[in-house]
Chain A
Amino acid sequence: MTVFDRHMNALSQTHSQGVVMTQAYLEIRDLVKSYDGKQQAVRGISLDIRKGEFVSFLGPSGSGKTTTLMMVAGFEMPTSGSILLGGREIAPVPAHKRNIGMVFQNYALFPHMTALENVGFPLRMRKTPAAEIARRAAEALDMVGLAAFGGRHPREMSGGQQQRVALARALVFGPDVLLLDEPLGALDKNLREQMQVEIKRIHRELGITTIYVTHDQSEAMTMSDRIAVFSQGVVEQFAPPLDIYQRPTTRFVGSFIGDSNFLDVTRQNDGLVAQGIGALNIAAPSQAGKFHGLVRPEAIGLWTGGDEQGHCVLSFLIEGLVHYGDSVLLIGSAAGLNLRARLPSVQASHLHEGDTIRIAWRENDMHLIPVQ
């Protein structure tokens, strides 16, 4: 492929993306998986993933992320439900014919092959001519910055280097979808951040539909177009990162992502009443019943006086301070509630344990989640 061809391809891709934008490319429908016939590891998951999208599966360990990925890759048969790729059902297609690239948490590089042989493996399986294998494998290694390491065996490389080889190997054959199962879990923090940037760069360059499994919320927040939050075999919410953070639809999502305060809010007559605080002057949602009122700690600030209209102002007893350098987390109680507030360090330098201060948040900053 010449540079010109590539350019034209890129153009037609961006063009078609504009049209296809909302159309699902990878569709997961009512997917259920039970390993033992009794308990369900995945309990009815439905997701529509668009072409070129970067989607994260985020959730605690054991919530069914890997199981879902294994079914997409073809290593596990769904108990029920279906998976469609480009409109075609792929359940009957065996794993080795799916053309889906996967990166495993423990890299799964073939120990008896060099880096170059590892990367060339998928091309060899596709009966590519030897000269082309050599060229494309070298190109792929170059893409992950390991051009000089082709002759090394996996045991002669660091964890980060092995992960890059695994990435090159999963991409070299031009897969339709790229799956990554906690690919950076075994790396230290600096290397992890470096690899996050690298993976995003590659995603941008190739425009490949990607599913990225992680239990690290900041990783999911910074990398994804959309996040699917997993809990106990179901997807609690599937939305862009900012929506997940600002407008969680379940209490689990609100507490799993970011730090949070929850207040019990009930609807009385036409207004809303928060436990320990009283009537709220915010528009009541149409549903009746009870709500979790979510207030993020960083939405809470010091009250310096003025018009209290539209604010919740409370007196707050500081029971503990945690210094993060740039910010300080205050842990304490107000109006009989345990609350956490996060202040910029410069505003908190004079505060001590045992102090009572006035804190406040804007009533509009409280997000209401209906109690199920």
Chain B
Amino acid sequence: MRITLALALLVALFVLGPLLVVVPMSFSTANSFEFPPPGYWLGYYRSFFGDERWLTPVFNSIGIGLATMLLTMLLVIPASFAMVRQRFMGRSAINLLLMMPMIVPNIVMALGYYTYFSQLKIIHSPLGVVLAHTCLSVPVCYLIIAASLKGFDRNLERAAMNLGASPLRTFWEVTFPVLRPGFLVGGLFAFIHSFDEAVVAIFISGQAASTLPRKMFDSIRIEADPIISVVSTLLFAVVLLAVLSPLAWRAIVKARSQFRAA
């Protein structure tokens, strides 16, 4: 018992270790990477928020992430309905195809996009990055949405139709609202996946469509600017917030319903 606890703590430390270095460093006064920091201030935060070379990639990343999320959902929602509810020839082959981007190493995918998108003349453009990121986001988003669809009680749809709702109304009044949490989580993961992704972005985003991870990579290679620890900290905070928000939302809903029931 005590051994497993110790083991769990070690794993947690191992996972959190880099953060314990990066977060304090972002408040450091040193002008290079130095640990432990000689002193603390907010100077690097100030220069980050005042520097267009950093803010442009931030907005690029947000825009590309949102577009990726939208496109992924447009592809994955219909695909999940077909895969979960229909039986057709080649179903398992399509299932494998949908999971492919998760199986093939990212660097291989990146090389492929690099050559193919050059021919299509959409390399170094936001469109290219969005297309590539969508492709990479599909598997995880599909897993989440297909799982929530499998757990959906089809009697709810039968009940709605029995009560006079046309198939279309049944979808908008019952199916969609009940599945919304699954859709939200799926969309969130698509966004985070794009926001986090570095390998493909380094290959194809170029200067014009540079995303935040790519800018960080460039910065560390070229100038070793301590601002990078600020970006890392902020990135971590954003992702943490995004992941925790569904949990927080559920807790709020639960507390509210308990309050009402009492």
* Residue ranges of A at the interface with B (Cβ–Cβ < 8 Å): 73-75, 94-102, 104, 106, 108-112, 121-122, 125-126, 151-153, 155-156, 169-170, 173
Is A110 touching B178 in the complex (CB atoms < 8 A)?
yes
Provide the bound-state CA to CA distance between A110 and B178, in Å: 8
Q: State whether A156 touches B261 (Cβ < 8 A).
A: yes
Alpha-carbon separation in the docked complex, A49 to B158 (Å): 24
Most chain B beta-carbon contacts within 10 A, residue among A95, A100, A106? A95
- Cross-interface CB contact of A121 among B153, B160, B178, B261, cutoff 8 Å: B160
Tell whether A169 pairs with B163 under 8 Å between CB atoms, given A95-B158, A108-B153, A112-B178.
yes
Interface: B4 (CB within 8 A): no
Cβ-based interface call for B161 (8 A): yes
Please determine whether A95 and B161 come into contact, CB atoms closer than 8 angstroms. Answer: yes
Q: List which B149-176 residues lie within 8 A (CB) of chain A.
A: 153, 155-156, 158-167, 169-170, 173-174
Most buried by A among B163, B177, B261: B163
Partner of A96, one of B153, B166, B178, B257: B166
A and B contact pairs by CB, cutoff 8 A, 26 listed:
A73-B158, A75-B162, A95-B158, A95-B161, A96-B164, A96-B165, A98-B162, A100-B162, A101-B163, A102-B162, A106-B153, A106-B155, A108-B156, A109-B159, A110-B159, A110-B160, A110-B173, A112-B178, A121-B163, A121-B165, A125-B163, A125-B165, A126-B164, A152-B261, A153-B257, A173-B163
The interface centre, meaning the residue of B160, B161, B165, B177 with most chain A CB atoms within 10 A of its CB, is B161
- Would A102 and B260 count as touching, CB distance under 8 A? no
Measured CA separation A102–B260 after assembly (Å) = 30
A109 cross-chain contacts in B, Cβ below 8 A: 159
Cross-chain contact of A110 among B162, B169, B174, B257 (Cβ < 8 A)? B174
Contact across chains for B156 and A122 when beta carbons are under 8 A apart: no
Centre residue among A104, A106, A108 by max chain B CB count within 10 A: A108
- Tell me the minimal C-beta distance from A248 to chain B in angstroms: 34
Q: Which residues of A contact B167 (CB under 8 A)?
A: 96
User: Bound state CA distance, A173 and B159, in angstroms?
Assistant: 14
With both chains docked as a complex, state the minimum distance between the C-beta of A149 and any C-beta of chain B, in angstroms. 11
User: In the bound complex, what is the Cα–Cα distance between A156 and B159 (angstroms)?
Assistant: 20
- Contact call B177/A108, Cβ cutoff below 8 A: no
A96 CA / B261 CA spacing, docked (Å)? 34
Q: Is the CB of B158 within 8 A of A104?
A: yes
| B177 and A156 contact, CB distance less than 8 A | no
Identity of the chain A residue whose Cβ is nearest the Cβ of B164 in the assembled complex: A125
**How far apart are B237's CB and chain A's nearest CB, in angstroms?**
32
A170 to chain B, nearest CB (A): 8
**Which partner residue on chain B sits nearest A119 by CB separation?**
B163
CB distance from A76 to the nearest CB of B (A): 10
Contact check, B164 vs A122: say whether CB atoms are below 8 A apart. Answer: yes
Question: Within the assembled complex, what's the spacing in Å between the Cα atoms of A121 and B162?
Answer: 11
Q: Are A156 and B163 in contact (CB under 8 A)?
A: no
Looking at the assembled complex, report how far the CB atom of B178 sits from the nearest CB atom of chain A, in whole angstroms. 6
Q: How far is the CA of A100 from the CA of B161 in the complex (A)?
A: 10
Chain A neighbourhood of B156, CB < 8 A? 108, 110
A70 to chain B: closest residue by CB:
B158
Contact check, B174 vs A73: say whether CB atoms are below 8 A apart.
Answer: no
Are the CB atoms of A75 and B163 closer together than 8 Å? no
Known: A96-B164, A125-B165, A169-B163. 9 other contacts (CB 8 A): A74-B162, A75-B158, A96-B163, A101-B162, A102-B158, A122-B163, A122-B164, A153-B257, A170-B163
B260 and A96 form a contact (CB under 8 A): no
- B169 near A152 (CB under 8 angstroms)? no
A112 to chain B minimum Cβ distance, whole angstroms, is 5
* Residues on B with beta carbons closer than 8 Å to the beta carbon of A125: 163-165, 169
List of B residues within 8 angstroms of A101 by Cβ: 162-163
Alpha-carbon separation in the docked complex, A126 to B166 (Å): 11
Distance A110 CA – B152 CA, assembled complex (angstroms): 12
Kindly list chain B residues whose C-beta atoms are within 8 Å of the C-beta of A111. 178
Q: Report Cα–Cα, A153/B261, bound state, in Å.
A: 9
Give Cα A213 to B167, complex, Å.
26
How close is A66's CB to chain B, nearest CB, in angstroms? 11
Cα–Cα, bound, A368→B174 (Å): 54
Chain A residues within an 8 Å CB radius of B162 = 73-75, 95-96, 98, 100-102, 170
